[in-house]
Amino acid sequence: MDARLRAEAARRTPEDWLGFARGEIRKALRDRIRDELLLAEVETSLTEQQRAGLVNFVRSLRDNFISENRGSEAMADRKFLEDQGVTLAQAVQSRRDEELIRSWLRRILQNKIYVSWRDVKQRYERDHDVYHPPAKATFHMIRVSISAADELDAVKEGLSANEDFQKIAHEHSRFNQKKSGLYEALISGDSYDDSELFGIAALNDAAHMLKPGDAVGPIEVGSNVYWLKLDSIDQINQSLYDVQMEIQQKLYSERVLVAQDDYFNTLLKRSGLQTSREVDRMEKRLFEIAAERYLLSKRN
């Protein structure tokens, strides 16, 4: 955490940094305790065959890291120190622990999590707007000031010559020129014809006469002249059949996180840390060390 805490201390006010650091330390400490408890649980449950497989996994992992660095152990060690601030041995140990925890949780939780068809259907109905968002009309619009005679002539000549509408908008429009006059409007009414697509009545009325691919103009409004082209009307309606696998995976992932937290809390309670003040003391001491290192040293 050193680099991140140091960088944030340089750019935040002391008060802001203290709140940030406390949250980061609390999370990191909880994650460390979780991993240590899980590793202890896993390692006491390994069979002799599993331990042998783990040794082979570690050997293969270390060999792969070295192979990726031209077969040089020294080069691999140096690269990990430069990129992650850890040695080759520490990187191997970390990956070993991650894989142990992942495989253990998968085995513990795999028969405890079930997503039914009813669950999927209920989530689909709950998130109806996600899968049936409002339709959207996409236009490109050219807006030129009446006083800009040269620009007006260029637009008219380009359209008469059937030049690309977006190209003309990019070169001459004074509306969203960087995106060639792009304008998107949500279809909020019952249909395209019922929706207020533009705040200007004359443009709104003109837009209602268009079908995708059609253009209209010039339309004189106040001190400006407009041309509109309707590119598309997009309606996204995803049926339950279309998104059932996506919803099922989302629900499964959510339940995995809940089950992991429940399992961790069980281990925490069993360890005695949940009801003791030891975690609070550790967090407080880590916070004091961080404040001394990054705030007090900065002032000195």
Which value, to the nearest 10 degrees, does the dihedral of the CA atoms of residues 178, 220, 153, 157 take? 80
Q: Is the residue at 63 inside a domain? A: no
In this predicted structure, what is the pLDDT of residue 274? 61
* pLDDT of 189 higher than 70: no
49-71: pLDDT as tens digits: 878 887 887 888 788 888 888 88
Domains contained in the chain, number: 1
* pLDDT of 300 higher than 60: no
Q: What is the DSSP code (8-state) at residue 134?
A: P
215-256: pLDDT as tens digits: 887 888 888 889 988 888 877 778 888 889 999 999 988 888
Tell me the three state secondary structure of residue 157.
helix
In this predicted structure, what is the pLDDT of residue 118? 92
Q: Is the residue at 2 inside a domain? A: no
* Cα(41)–Cα(103) distance, integer angstroms: 12
Q: How far is CA 298 from the centre of its chain?
A: 34
In this predicted structure, what is the pLDDT of residue 242? 86
Output the domain CATH number for residue 166.
3.10.50.40
In this predicted structure, what is the pLDDT of residue 250? 92
* Cα(45)–Cα(97) distance, integer angstroms: 14
* pLDDT of 273 higher than 80: no
Q: Are 157 and 149 in contact (CB under 8 A)?
A: no
* pLDDT of 94 higher than 80: yes
Which residues in the chain belong to E strands, given as ranges?
Answer: 136-145, 182-186, 215-221, 224-234
Confidence of residue 92 (pLDDT cuts 50, 70, 90): confident
Confidence of residue 276 (pLDDT cuts 50, 70, 90): low
Q: Determine the average pLDDT of the residues in 82-110.
A: 80
Nearest to 77 by CA among 153, 86, 14: 86
Q: Is the residue at 52 inside a domain? A: no
Nearest to 215 by CA among 165, 174, 251, 264: 165
**Domain span at 228:** 134-234
Token pair of 1, please? 């955490």
Q: Is the residue at 239 inside a domain? A: no
> Which DSSP string corresponds to 55-114?
HHHHHHHHHHHHHTTTT-HHHHHHHHHHHHS--HHHHHHHHHHHHHHHHHHHHHHTTT--
103-161: pLDDT as tens digits: 777 777 777 788 899 999 999 989 888 888 878 888 988 888 888 888 888 888 888 88
Q: Is the residue at 75 inside a domain? A: no
In this predicted structure, what is the pLDDT of residue 119? 92
Which one-letter amino acid corresponds to residue 55? Answer: V
Evaluated on CA atoms 188, 190, 192, 198, the torsion sign reads negative
Tell me the three state secondary structure of residue 164.
coil
Q: Is the residue at 192 inside a domain? A: yes
In this predicted structure, what is the pLDDT of residue 84? 77
Q: Is the residue at 143 inside a domain? A: yes
Q: Are 238 and 259 in contact (CB under 8 A)?
A: no
Tell me the three state secondary structure of residue 281.
helix
In this predicted structure, what is the pLDDT of residue 6? 86
Instruction: Supply the pTM of this predicted model.
Output: 0.53
In this predicted structure, what is the pLDDT of residue 121? 92
* Cα(23)–Cα(131) distance, integer angstroms: 35
Q: Is the residue at 144 inside a domain? A: yes
* pLDDT of 258 higher than 70: yes
The radius of gyration of the chain from alpha carbons, rounded to an integer in Å, stands at 31
The phi and psi torsions of 226 (rounded to 5 degrees) equal -120, 150
Question: Which has more pLDDT, 284 or 99?
Answer: 284
